[in-house]
Amino acid sequence: MRMIDCTYGEHAAPILDILNEAIAHSTALYEYQPRSMESMRRWFDAKRAGNFPVLGAVDASGQLLGFASYGSFRPHAAYKYTIEHSVYVHANERGHGLGRALLEQLISSARAQQYHVLVGAIDADNQASIALHQALGFVHSGTLRQVGFKFGRWLDLSLYQLLLATPLQPVES
């Protein structure tokens, strides 16, 4: 496995497949309908415009096994040092350390880009993701009770955050 920077042309379709599988079969995404290829165009455009990475893990043949990214936490200026991240691994590849490798790379990218806080919004029943985040130093910051409804039940969303020593000289502009 190796890490790459994903591009729309080469990776939008496999990213879309991973996302749509998660939408259909899990509570990792609080969505009902599959996403479209056009939504992927907008997603990649937003990542590029914000200078946010889209990292991928590929096998020896170049097949995408998982991906990770981050984006703005909230649109207001004072949140500029805080980002919310996402990590998704192909259903057949889960449990082999790919999520950890991707999240470690995201943390490194966030430090390099001088962010201060990474936020993970995780379904409260997703114990594997919670354990991964805790193993990498994320702490539970709160749970929003019954904010989602999917598969006939209410879903709780837990927030985890990691504080970074960056930026070295934050500014209010």
Domains of the chain: 2-163 (3.40.630.30)
pLDDT at 138: 98
Residue 173 has pLDDT above 90, yes or no: no
Residue 128 has pLDDT above 90, yes or no: yes
Pairing of strands 117-123, 139-150: unpaired
**What mean pLDDT, rounded, does the chain reach?**
97
pLDDT at 7: 96
Say whether pTM exceeds 0.85.
yes
Mean pLDDT in residue range 143-149: 98
